[in-house]
Chains A and B, each alone.
Chain A
Amino acid sequence: MMSEDLGRGASLSGTFSRRTVLRGLAAGGVAGVLGGLLAACGGSSSTPTAASSTGGGTAASSASTSTTASSASTTTTGSGTPSTGGSSATPAGTAATSATQAPKGKQGGTLTMGYNVQQLLQLDPARISTGRVAGELLPQICSALVQFDEKLNVIPDLAEKWEISDDGLTYTFHIRTGLKFHDDAPCTAQDFVYTYNRTLDPKLASPHANKLSGITAAEAPDDQTFKLTFKAPFAPFLATTCTRGPGRALTPVSKTSMEKMGNDESLLKPVGCGPFKLNLDSVNAQSGFTMEAFDGYYGGRPLLDKIVVKFIPEPASQVNALAAGDIDMFNEIPPQGYSQLQGNDKVTVEKIHGTNWIAVQFNTAKPPFDNQDARMAVAKGIDRDKFIKTALFGLAEPSVGAIAPAFGWATQTEADLKENPEKFDADAAKQLADSSGLSKAKVELLASASDHRNEDEIRNQLLKIGVDVTLNLLQDSDYNDRWQKGDYQMAIQGSVVDADPDDNDYNFFYPDGPWNTGKWNRDQAKALLDDERATTDQAKRAKDFQDLQDLARKEAAFAFLYHAYFLPGFQNYVKGLPKVPEIFYMEGVWLDK
């Protein structure tokens, strides 16, 4: 049984997530077509879609808007510009959303969840570096200041409300009373200050420390108030930094337990205050772990008694395990197994717009792709529809830029563009390849030795325009190393599990951004990204992102390829799983059997 939820914007417009770049997950061991994607974190706020946004909203505003959207009873004070800009948004008191409502369904039972990871590298929120683990597993163990609803609006979680100053420089979170960590220690505003300081501690080497670099002060005036002061407005802050899942930098952990364990042991054993408590003895980096219902969860005991997570790295085994009934759900069905499950009336596979985008990244600092015509030849030489059909079993949408379809407020399709310079045109591509000398050049494409289906298809298609590409097959660690050092000509890269377009665009397009390894440095890109972070107007942010994509397309900084669907699969008796792209909230899940 298949179900599709492709409503653009309406149901999936918010975002949460993290960016990810291709090889990342692979390094962590995640398999599958997206298996190569590394997830970083990202973040951004949920976004008010046309339907949901009330005020002007920017990212931050998304916070406010989202609250509004999520519950009629919430009040949004301050209109204007939530996100960075100023406005406050406060879901007054009622955070009433999924997290606080008593879950409806049958209590009890154990859910076995298959998970496509070769090895678990981290679970400590401050150190987690794979977006899918952070978005799909961690939210059960660690609640955060805010979370996403099904429409990807930012809604309350441990903070029942918050305010943002008019200048966008001060965030004041009001923490719920009576919160408890899984070790029974109380969770107060002091724990958020501890988490903030812990993330910044050099000894921890948190990869998320940079997300807190714009904060000048983190204070807890009392146990229920957590206050942050910024040196400059940062529109996507709530979604990228504060959410359950993508917001690892400020996701609280128990000081008592983490310090008792030390940095090494706590890497895989976070003690948080989420709906499920990690069974610390069960954690095995290679095989999985068990989570048990936490009676002290502020939203009430979750419906399931237990969730057993089993790591299944092989795509065929993932599909067979679900078909055989050995697992109750699988986090993401591999595209090659999708058709096998279509005929299975005991299994449901959701088909949801993802928050990802994948493209060919060019090294613009080295020949032959320091020549714009050479880049454009590749961009025009790829038939996206054929590519998706051949390499991805049809389970993706063509992409025209680095804004995923789940960001309905900002994303674009071919139809939205006056002109797409990268549109497939084999004749023009061939001419450009000849005139730029690309057809006579030695052209290399970086590829992972473990999965190069996409790269094979690129090679086949470019052969037709007279460009002979050599695949440089590398182990994932070598691949990452080469890519990070800019030691390549072309690489297939992109991002998954983003919380906001800023989540990856900033890193890929900002001059000297950490993922801008292709050295496409443009002042205009810098100005647009600076503006979208500072503005409080969500429509303006969307325009900034779209102008950035126009520029990237015009100069063929990337040859944009596709947006893959998010495909979670489960037995029909598994009920209550919210359809949030690339993130799971399992407290309301139950077994109808």
Chain B
Amino acid sequence: MNPVCIITALPAESRVFIDALRLRHVQDCGWRLYARDHYRLLQTGLGKLKAAAATSTLLHAQPDISAIVNVGVAGGTHPTGTCLQAHKITDEGTATSWYPHLPPRRLTQGLRSTEVLTLDRMSEQYRTDAVFDMEAAGVMSAATVYLSTDAIQCVKVISDNPDSPVQAFSKRVAIAHMQHTVPHVLEMLRWYEQMEDSSIRQSEIRSLSSQITLEVRHTISEGHQLTRLLHRYRSLTDTVLDVQQLQTLNSATAVRQYLETQLSDVPLTYE
């Protein structure tokens, strides 16, 4: 199963998920990463720049991560503790917007959607049509390089509003609010786990391709052709590819011809 990752900014935002998923800290250079089984949690630090840098580093280092959920506290006009999912994320600084492709409503019962406006510094100029955070746009900007918008979600919980301004914010309060997000986020993760089929096939093909290209020299373009042929082979036949035989061939052209011959022999019937 491919890993799915929660991305938070602060320790107070991470704690509830570390406990709920029994995650362990991963000793690695310079980032706060927690993991168990196929779950990951990345704690990026405060602000969109740190969020973008950490997200990008993680997705580059672990390209098999199939989905991410950015979770954290936000300011708005809703009552504190209200959970919301982002239907639009806007970077206030650049006015760039992203639209996550939201999961079906049955998965997010009771979770209203809103625009998340990522600010460079905290603000108490609350708006009724958006909530404020400081990381979502950074996460989106980095993550959309690696993942499609259906695999990136953002869930925020209101921690401050006009009645309970940001000065009243404390770690204890944040943890209490974050607790509300746990069922929604876990439900999303479960949904992503069920969508694994295609990514399993992708990683299988990647592995086959690298086994062949390790032995038989392929240019970049030949590598792409090989990947396409392997995809076709995997779809049209249910047989296991004889990689060892392919590894004995002396050129990329010979590998391609072998696969093309195999493919043209596949019977083509509709029953």
**A and B part of one assembly:** no
Please give the residue numbers on chain A whose beta carbons come within 8 Å of chain B beta carbons, in ascending order: none
